[in-house]
Amino acid sequence: MLSRSVKSSLKRTSSVLKQSNVIKQSNVTKQSFKILNVQISRSLHLNNTNTPRFQLNTPLSFKRFGSTTVKVPDMAESITEGTLSAFNKEVGDYVEQDETIATIETDKIDVEVNAPVAGTIKEFLVDVEATVEVGQDLAIIEEGGEPAKGAATKAESKPKTEEQPEKKEEAKSESKKEESKPETKKEEKKPEPKKEQPKKETKQESTPSFTNFYRNEERVKMNRMRLRIAERLKESQNTAASLTTFNEVDMSNLMNMRKQYKDEFLEKTGIKLGFMGAFSKAACLAAKDIPAVNASIENNDTLVFRDYTDISIAVATPKGLVTPIVRNAESRSILGIEKEIASLGKKARDGKLTLEDMTGGTFTISNGGVFGSLYGTPIINMPQTAVLGLHGVKERPVTVNGQIVSRPMMYVALTYDHRVLDGREAVTFLKTIKELIEDPRKMLLLE
């Protein structure tokens, strides 16, 4: 007979053997892993050495769901905020890297916001016309490639097919309503007396009216650039001791020279020969004799004189008047000045001017004649000392060698700060410009 301890030990060994046989029979056990929304199926093989070995039944596929936040870029040293004027894209649109997605308007320039990565716009974090600061979050872009067009068309077609039965049900319900309406109208018309029409007429007659014309009003908020222009112009009027002197210029010789050479230079250089280049060059030459025209007041007690001339050219844009600068105009030829003016004018109209294009300036020329202006007094562009105003060319009778003849004449105006420039110097400066324009050959002889 066996003891109880021996019997119990035999039972335990038999149970262990049974479990090992079960493990050997099930050589493979399958497990599922879920990693980042990707279902992965793996097979687990158990060898006699009890070391697991993994075999991949399905290929791994990972999807990136990273998102990038678009922030307000640095605009300039003196600009810390602006107004979000427009979003160039919409939510759901795909954008390439460095593609423009928004435009921010400042008091000086328009700043474009470019996409830092390629992807799909998921959300706009700021409303249009809101004030934004440098570094503020604007939008969220989900990184990735452009979505397939086929998937988009399928997604669009599904809601359309779903909407069709709804439209049919709506049409049926509307037709039922229309059928029920005439019955109610017939029932209502019988008891109703015919006194509604005169009531309406009395209401129209009783409404008071001051006039038969429309008198609507519309209030539009001023943009930042317009506010800044208004501030600068008012500052000029309140600060400078402004005085304006006038003269008239015979444009015959300059117009004949332009007519004779404009086509030739247009073919060779692609530059249109106008009046601004000649007047800019004449102003630079005249400023060498009257250096105070090119000076400015600093700290209310110091005069700054310069040996260079940076001419600010006034350009009208839809958002307001801007003054891009022709650097070192004194060292350029007439054609070189014309080329730079054309380039700056195009950038101004396209809204592509940078802060560097408008920073500085020692003298301003404003040509109101392109809009038909005959006469006017320009306002000084602070902190400059003077501004030259050009006007329209008109045929007028003038006396030449004792005879009255018709000549193309232009009125020119020079507004100057009397704190810096005396009357004698201002008149001399404007008279020198007049003489150089009436005989452009003199500009070749002066240095």
CATH of the domain at 121: 2.40.50.100
Structure tokens at 316: 């009208």
- Which position has the higher pLDDT, 323 or 48? 323
329 and 284 share one domain: yes
Determine, yes or no, domain membership for 157.
Answer: no
- Asked if residue 378 belongs to a domain, the reply is yes
Same domain, 35 and 121: no
Query: How do residues 47-89 score in pLDDT, each as one tens digit?
Result: 444 544 545 455 555 455 578 889 888 876 667 888 888 888 8
Domain span at residue 132? 67-143
| Tens digits of residue pLDDT in 189-222 | 444 444 444 444 444 444 455 678 888 899 988 8
- Boundary residue ending a domain (91, 111, 143): 143
Instruction: Please report whether residue 7 resides in a domain.
Output: no
One domain, residues 38 and 76: no
Residue 40: predicted pLDDT:
41
> Has residue 421 been placed in a domain?
yes
Active-site positions?
418, 422
* Confidence (pTM): 0.64
Give me the CATH number covering residue 378: 3.30.559.10
Domain count, the chain: 3
Q: What pLDDT sits at residue 44?
A: 41
- Give me the mean pLDDT over the 161-187 stretch: 49
pLDDT in tens, 333-345: 999 999 999 899 8
